[in-house]
Structure 1
Amino acid sequence: MFFLQMSGFPGSGKSTLAREIAKFTKAVIIDHDIVKTGLLEGLELEGQDKNIDPKRAGGVAYHIEWSLVDFYLSQGHSVILDSPCLYDVIVENGTTLAEKHSAKYKYVECVLNDIYELNNRLKNRERMITQIGPVDIPEERWQEVINRAKKPTHLECLKVDTSQHVDDYIGDVLLYIDK
């Protein structure tokens, strides 16, 4: 059993890779965008203010996600959390829950160093209300932006170049998870 924390800038291929990993491992995927979108859509249906702070909604969504991770791990399921991983608390909660349930903690960072390809993906995907569209970041600042992901400092992490087709790196990811 494992708990896998996906990481990477929106559009870098986290969800695509998570779905591919789940095909091979039967892991449960908890997608931050789906939870956050469902939360916001539910609040709108209830007549709540449409101007809810996205950061606050994201925080509430993470609380829901941690409850789901805890539940699925307690049931013996492997779990993948598909999230950008921009806060230290995400790594802390993930490692704590993995330890609590004697699951292997794994961390995969999806990296796409081509801002043009990233914007192409962001422009052409079916977008949920919580997902960003194409970004306008100067190329010279791009590396700084993609390096904002928080990583565990005491564990081996895997960085994946997602400019290639998922078939080109899924084998390496599965070997890493199996270690």
Structure 2
Amino acid sequence: MFFLQMSGFPGSGKSTLAKEIAKFTKAVIIDHDIVKTGLLEGLGLEGLDVDPKRAGGVAYHIEWSLVDFHLSQGYSVILDSPCLYEVLVEKGTALAEKHSAKYKYVECVLNDIHELNNRLKNRVRMITQIGPVDIPEERWQEVINRAQKPSHLECMQVDTSQPVDYYFGDVLLYINK
């Protein structure tokens, strides 16, 4: 059993990779965008001026409850989220330890802002997902480096400019270590 924390900028390929991993491992995926969108829609708040940080915080609270529940039932779990806050790593490692699950961390990196914007522009977007971004190329690396990683554990970084098949086998090997 494992708990996999996905990380990466929106549009970097986290959800695509999470779905492929789940197909092979039968892991449960908890998707931050789905939970946050469902929360806003369920409360009738879509389209209103809602503080995204507060909505995201409530969504994360729900997600951690779901991660805890599924791990307690013996299921492997993938949390599909950008992982921009240290508390997410702390909670993830604590829950994995609580349930004797292997903690794994995969960061999806797409160093090409033009390709990223192409993906963001062409996907079917949920109300909580961002569209194309206007970030100068010279600042792009700084944005990518905002992801929080566990300093005491081995993490994996994948170049998602490549097709999923290119790195998928390596990701499975890392998860099964």
The residue aligned with 2:101 is 103
The residue aligned with 1:91 is 89
Is 1:20 paired with 2:5? no
For residue 125 of structure 1, the aligned residue among 120, 123, 126 is 123
- Structure 2: state its 5+ residue gaps: none
What is the root-mean-square deviation in Å for CA atoms of aligned residues? 1.1
Equivalent-residue separation in structure 2 for 1:49 and 1:114 (angstroms)? 31
**Counterpart of 1:149 in structure 2: which amino acid?**
A
- SS, match of residue 127 in structure 2: coil
The sequence identity of aligned pairs, in percent, is: 87
- SS, match of residue 65 in structure 1: helix
How far residue 50 of structure 1 moved from its aligned partner, in angstroms, is 2.1
Q: TM-score if structure 1 supplies the norm length?
A: 0.97
Equivalent-residue separation in structure 2 for 1:2 and 1:11 (angstroms)? 24
Change (3 A) 1:33 1:49: closer
- SS, match of residue 4 in structure 2: strand
- SS, match of residue 169 in structure 1: helix
- SS, match of residue 137 in structure 1: coil
Equivalent-residue separation in structure 2 for 1:154 and 1:138 (angstroms)? 32
Is 1:30 paired with 2:19? no
1:93-172 correspondence runs (5 A): 93-172=91-170
**Counterpart of 1:82 in structure 2: which amino acid?**
D
**Counterpart of 1:31 in structure 2: which amino acid?**
D
**Counterpart of 1:25 in structure 2: which amino acid?**
T
Show CA shifts across 1:62-105 (max 9, x none): 00000000000000000000000000000000000000000000
Q: How many residues were matched structurally?
A: 177
How far residue 49 of structure 1 moved from its aligned partner, in angstroms, is 8.8
Q: TM-score if structure 2 supplies the norm length?
A: 0.98
Show CA shifts across 1:5-37 (max 9, x none): 000000000000000000000000000000000
**Counterpart of 2:162 in structure 1: which amino acid?**
Q
Equivalent-residue separation in structure 1 for 2:47 and 2:129 (angstroms)? 19
The residue aligned with 1:43 is 43
Equivalent-residue separation in structure 2 for 1:57 and 1:139 (angstroms)? 29
User: Structure 1 segments of 4 or more deviating over 4 A?
Assistant: none
Equivalent-residue separation in structure 1 for 2:50 and 2:44 (angstroms)? 10
